[in-house]
């Protein structure tokens, strides 16, 4: 199996298959369930890279069953999250994907596997996008990105094509300002809050519809700092974060932070909701 893993790490899936298949035969012969489970997952990844999602899920489910039988929480947490992500990318069975992801995220939080917590958050983001929950998807991708930056664990190159396609399909249906605001809000979420947000699976308006909010009270507007009022005013003029940063001579990341704080203080969910009251003022 080690030789097969080495070939996979080099990106040589075809070269890995003979080694993995031999390892599977030998491990089945001696009843080595742990090696069987890991080898099945490796073969499932190869099938996924080939675009054979049916075979990938069949192999992945067998690996999951063995991991559950052995009470191997680490392997179970990983293969279950993998099944969730593959289901998000390859089918419309949103309920099944959610079930895999919820089980995996809970297990990974329990065992402290932050790498796979990030992986599950990305899966939940893709699922939210598939369900036309644009702001929710952006927040979850933002939270996952923040966690990956914290633990210095970038997205693996092999996962990048599906990840990019999923994000692009969601992002084009949400205006840039709303996307930026929600993504920034997600990046500022504490980890536990992000995990709970993913597990709760709350519903949101569809991507093409901005949430309708009551105008903020005078007290809520008064809670904004002087700088936040300046930023809110420029948001009301429909400037992007980059334009606001240039206007106020501050960093774009600082603008992201201010916009997220404004949304939180005013109980808003999108940048568009800031526009109306600030224009009226």
Read out DSSP for 73-129?
Answer: HHHHHHHHHHHHHHHHHH-S-HHHHHHHHHHHHHHHHHHT-HHHHHHHHHHHHHHHH
pLDDT digits (tens, 9 = 90+) for 63-112: 999 999 999 999 999 999 999 999 999 999 999 999 999 999 999 999 99
* Tokens (6 digits) for 182: 């929600």
Instruction: Compute the C-alpha angle 162/34/27, nearest 5°.
Output: 105
pLDDT at position 72 is 95
Whether residue 194 is found in the same domain as residue 243: no
Q: Are 270 and 135 in contact (CB under 8 A)?
A: yes
Whether the per-residue pLDDT at 29 is higher than 60: the answer is yes
Whether residue 16 is found in the same domain as residue 134: no
Q: Find the domain containing 42 and state its range.
A: 1-71
Whether residue 199 is found in the same domain as residue 259: no
Distances 106 to 86, 103, 127, 149, 159 between C-alpha atoms, Å: 18, 5, 17, 21, 22
Whether residue 132 is found in the same domain as residue 182: yes
Whether residue 31 is found in the same domain as residue 93: no
| Domain end point (choices 49, 71, 93) | 71
CA dist 60 and 44 (Å) reads 6
Whether residue 101 is found in the same domain as residue 157: yes
Whether residue 145 is found in the same domain as residue 201: yes
Structural domain count, the chain = 3
pLDDT digits (tens, 9 = 90+) for 219-260: 567 778 888 888 888 888 878 888 888 888 887 778 877 888
Whether residue 127 is found in the same domain as residue 166: yes
CATH code, 30 = 1.25.40
| Domain end point (choices 209, 237, 271) | 209
pLDDT at position 38 is 92
């Amino acid at each position: 199996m080690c030789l097969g893993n080495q070939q996979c790490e080099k990106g040589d899936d075809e070269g890995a298959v003979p080694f993995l298949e031999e390892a599977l035969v030998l491990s089945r012969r001696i009843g080595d369930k742990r090696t069987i489970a890991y080898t099945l997952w490796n073969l499932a990844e190869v099938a996924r890279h080939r675009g054979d999602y049916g075979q990938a899920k069949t192999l992945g489910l067998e690996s999951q069953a063995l991991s559950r039988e052995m009470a191997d929480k680490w392997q179970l947490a990983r293969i279950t999250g993998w099944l969730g992500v593959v289901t998000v990318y390859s089918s419309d069975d949103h309920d099944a994907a959610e079930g895999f992801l919820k089980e995996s995220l809970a297990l990974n939080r329990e065992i402290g596997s932050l790498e796979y917590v990030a992986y599950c958050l990305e899966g939940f983001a893709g699922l939210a996008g598939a369900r036309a929950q644009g702001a929710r998807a952006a927040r979850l991708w933002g939270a996952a990105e923040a966690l990956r930056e914290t633990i210095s664990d970038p997205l693996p190159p092999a996962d990048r094509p599906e990840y990019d396609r999923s994000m692009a399909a969601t992002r084009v249906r949400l205006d840039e300002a709303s996307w930026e605001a929600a993504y920034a809000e997600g990046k500022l979420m504490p980890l536990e809050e992000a995990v709970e947000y993913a597990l709760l699976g709350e519903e949101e308006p569809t991507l093409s519809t901005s949430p309708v909010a009551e105008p903020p009270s005078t007290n809520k507007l008064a809670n904004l700092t002087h700088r936040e009022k300046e930023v809110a005013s420029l948001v009301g003029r429909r400037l992007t974060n980059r334009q606001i940063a240039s206007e106020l001579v501050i960093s774009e990341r600082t603008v992201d932070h201010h916009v997220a704080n404004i949304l939180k203080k005013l109980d808003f969910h999108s940048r568009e909701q800031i526009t109306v009251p600030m224009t009226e003022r």
